Structure 1
Amino acid sequence: MSHEPRQSDVLVVGGGLVGASLALALGRAGLDVAIVEAHPFRINEQPNYDERSIALAQGSQRIFTGMGIWDALQKEVCPIHTIHVSDRGHFGFTRLKREQEGVEALGYVASARLLGNTLIRALEQTSVQLLAPARLESFQTDGDRVQAVLNHEGKSVEHTARLLVAADGVQSRVREQLAIDTHQWDYGQTAVIANVTPDQPHKQVAYERFTDTGPMALLPLNDNHCSLVWTLRADQVDEVMGLEDTEFLSRLQARFGYRLGRFTRVGTRHAYPLQLLRAKQSTAQRLALIGNAVHTLHPIAGQGFNLGLRDVAALAEVVIDAQRRGGDIGDVDVLRRYADWRQTDQRRVVAFTDTMVRLFGQSLTPVVGLRDAGMLALDLCPPAKHWFGRLTMGRAGRLPRLARGLAL
């Protein structure tokens, strides 16, 4: 054990996109922050920052604006001007347009690598301690501090902080060490993800098409590429992943149709099993959970990362406000404000995504007829469509300063 314990105001466990975003927000607001990350924290070397495409809600764009990094992202992301939702083989559809919502874009599409590299560059301009490669071995609360033991570059070191934040994903070791109960559901589905190229312009339209094996999304990318998220039953995955590119594209064409013409190319494919996870509490003594450590969603409607980023915005605000008042940033009342603030949004989005998966997984004729009629009604009812748009754009409810595009 090292005899030179390190310390910080906040220790963030997990340097993925959500954890790095929180560290940057708090670091730029003046707190002493450290990140513990198992992988090297260098440009193009963080495996969490890969070529997967992420749909950024319009509210997430505001958060990155408030954090001061949107200008670095804006030229590289692809805007979404229209969202087209349909039910394959049935009559139901609805559309959202940016003009109807009075925004420049309903959202944006960016690669995880772009987001990650931008966060790393911004963090390198702050005093945030990047402890990587490093792992959290254990921790305990001792009065007004959290005493953590880290394995950093092969050495065991102590680190103390006033607040520990778990941003370590769906298999959160922090959550497990605290024995926080979770509600989990295996959807029996897997998302096959790849970039594809159509022979017609996508015109900044994002497509969400419901099929009998699960939803299929095509998100617009620059250079007229599209990011594909194709949900399959678990028993179909091996066959589809093993197809030659031409046969894969033929299957995709049959499922999606010809709204984008013919698909001509497909990139590397990846498969991710899908599940729902919701932790039954998001705080403990001097500890807060954010992102996938507290909620992991089905990718339907692209809400997962955006929900985690709103966790970041709310937690950063209550922590910074406590610091400016001269209070204890890890105090139970501070963390209760975070948990209470996030509870409604988390429950609403979890219920929304889970209900959509289950509703569109039904093949009973009366259910199909009702859901398609509901989609058409939504398309024809501006107030309902506006409510739906605000929900998907991350603009519903009481918004933190960052989510309004304001600095902390």
Structure 2
Amino acid sequence: MSRFNIAIVGGGLVGASLALSLQAGAKARGWKIVLIEPFAPGDSWQPSYDARSSALSFGARRIYERLGLWQQISRRAEPIMQIQVSDRGRFGATRLSALEEGVPALGYVVENAWLGQCLWAGLDHEVISWRVPAEVRSMQALADGYRLKLNDDTELECDLAILADGGRSSLREQLGIAVRQQPYDQSALIANITPGEAHCGQAFERFTEEGPMALLPLPENRCALVWTRTGNDTKRLAALDDRSFLNELQGVFGYRLGTLRQVGARHVYPLALIEAEEQVRSHLVILGNAAHSLHPIAGQGFNLSLRDADALADTLLDSEAPLGDLAVLLAYRDRQRLDQQLTVGFSDKVTRLFGSKQSVIATGRNLGLLGLDLLPPAKRWFARQAMGLGTRPDV
């Protein structure tokens, strides 16, 4: 039976980023890492109009720069130069700009397939073994690690198991790790849009009584749309023909980018705030969406998970204790606790505040948006949260 120092269950963006954060230090220590992923990456990246994308914060850029990957990633990363935040039908609005914050961009929008290709291309096969395509069917706790059984009936053991298999992790449930779940009674409709005018690196966060929407800049003058509405209404929007859909979107978004010309495939996802009640056990770490799934409108989910992965790698490589030592894993959890609490709280409160239809709350949030422009320290704090720099000056 094969024995590894670290097994990363889930080779998506979070799992692959963790592997890259670990690999230089792992090579120096002689560690062996295995990355287990159900979906094999393609041999070459192909552009697609309908590609799903992620918003990377400026803090995420700094992490990938340290890993030597940013130059490659940036070839297909669209910079966010300005963010406009507005409340439909009300006077409150504010703008964040990269120039005012003294950064080259507030963030970047990258197609997931391209980002994944860059991450996997950076893996050192002398340190990191792949089991792809492969799936972990069960995990058994041992005195000195975990035994993993794969879908081909092979087994392997590890000193430390990292569970990064997504928000609907069946292994998390199998291990008896409970979650706190707060449904938003909303679904997100995801699609790519082509506007009539150049987006010029502008991102839009627009809040309506029916739910918030975000329009983020992509290469080739496309925009990534995240439109949240109640579940039945989202399904109705997804079923409309393209012209009817664009007309309805235009009525809510307005003509800031001219006439909306094209919409791609639409996908609908139910939304909830989900947090694992345990993120560490002896010889086990829960990471990524398996640890915390956030509302997508604030664009904080992947960036928080990337900071978690970065902090976990630092904590493991700075320790002389055996891999999987509970005290070391608790130190990682404590190191990230404030970042997680503030980021989850920021994302959740923004979602609930701007989703409220109560007139008193609506008036207060509009005054708050105006206040951001009038109070530079408050606006600076808001911008640092959006850039993923709130509690991690090191990134």
Q: TM-score range by the shorter chain?
A: over 0.9
Whether 1:71 aligns to 2:71 is yes
Q: 1:389-400 maps to which residues of 2 (within 5 A)?
A: 389-399=383-393
How far off is 1:99 after superposition?
A: 1.5
- Show the counterpart of 2:343: 349
Q: 1:90-169 maps to which residues of 2 (within 5 A)?
A: 90-123=90-123, 127-151=127-151, 154=152, 156-169=153-166
- Shifted more, 327-336 versus 251-260: the winner is 327-336
Letter of the 1:18 counterpart: V
- Show the counterpart of 2:187: 190
Q: Separation in 2 of the partners of 1:45 and 1:221? A: 16
Alignment partner of 1:274 out of 271, 274, 283: 271
How far off is 1:96 after superposition?
A: 0.7
- Shifted more, 32-41 versus 113-122: the winner is 32-41
Q: Unpaired runs of 5+ in structure 1?
A: 404-408
Deviations 1:229-259 (A, max 9, x none): 1111101122211111111110010010011
TM-score calculated relative to the size of structure 2 = 0.94
- Shifted more, 86-95 versus 37-46: the winner is 37-46
Q: Separation in 1 of the partners of 2:148 and 2:221? A: 48
Instruction: Specify whether residues 228 and 273 from structure 1 end up closer, same or farther in structure 2 by C-alpha distance, changes over 3 A only.
Output: same
Tell me if structure 2 keeps the 8 A contact 1:92–1:375.
yes
- Shifted more, 203-212 versus 137-146: the winner is 137-146
Tell me if structure 2 keeps the 8 A contact 1:165–1:287.
yes
How far off is 1:93 after superposition?
A: 0.7
Instruction: Specify whether residues 135 and 11 from structure 1 end up closer, same or farther in structure 2 by C-alpha distance, changes over 3 A only.
Output: same
How far off is 1:360 after superposition?
A: 1.3
- Show the counterpart of 2:381: 387
How far off is 1:344 after superposition?
A: 1.1
SS at match of 2:237: helix
Q: Separation in 1 of the partners of 2:371 and 2:178? A: 39
Q: Separation in 2 of the partners of 1:223 and 1:165? A: 37
Alignment partner of 2:203 out of 206, 210, 214: 206
Tell me if structure 1 keeps the 8 A contact 2:14–2:305.
yes
Letter of the 2:12 counterpart: G
- Shifted more, 140-149 versus 229-238: the winner is 140-149
User: What percentage of residue pairs aligned between the two structures are identical?
Assistant: 44
Q: Separation in 2 of the partners of 1:142 and 1:279? A: 22
Q: Separation in 2 of the partners of 1:348 and 1:44? A: 38
- Show the counterpart of 2:253: 256
Letter of the 1:233 counterpart: T
Tell me if structure 2 keeps the 8 A contact 1:24–1:128.
no
Letter of the 1:178 counterpart: L
SS at match of 1:133: coil
Q: Separation in 2 of the partners of 1:84 and 1:380? A: 16
How far off is 1:397 after superposition?
A: 1.8
Q: Separation in 2 of the partners of 1:16 and 1:63? A: 17
Alignment partner of 1:16 out of 2, 12, 25: 12
How far off is 1:147 after superposition?
A: 2.1
How far off is 1:227 after superposition?
A: 0.9
Whether 1:320 aligns to 2:317 is yes
- Show the counterpart of 1:306: 303
Q: Separation in 1 of the partners of 2:142 and 2:45? A: 36
Tell me if structure 1 keeps the 8 A contact 2:160–2:284.
yes
Q: Unpaired runs of 5+ in structure 2?
A: none
How far off is 1:173 after superposition?
A: 2.6
Deviations 1:244-293 (A, max 9, x none): 11111100100100111111111111111111101112101110011101
Count, aligned residues: 388
Whether 1:26 aligns to 2:13 is no
- Show the counterpart of 2:169: 172
How far off is 1:141 after superposition?
A: 2.9
Alignment partner of 2:289 out of 289, 292, 305: 292
Tell me if structure 2 keeps the 8 A contact 1:43–1:120.
no
How far off is 1:329 after superposition?
A: 2.3
How far off is 1:399 after superposition?
A: 5.0
Alignment partner of 2:357 out of 337, 343, 363: 363
SS at match of 1:207: strand
Instruction: Specify whether residues 391 and 257 from structure 1 end up closer, same or farther in structure 2 by C-alpha distance, changes over 3 A only.
Output: same
How far off is 1:45 after superposition?
A: 9.3
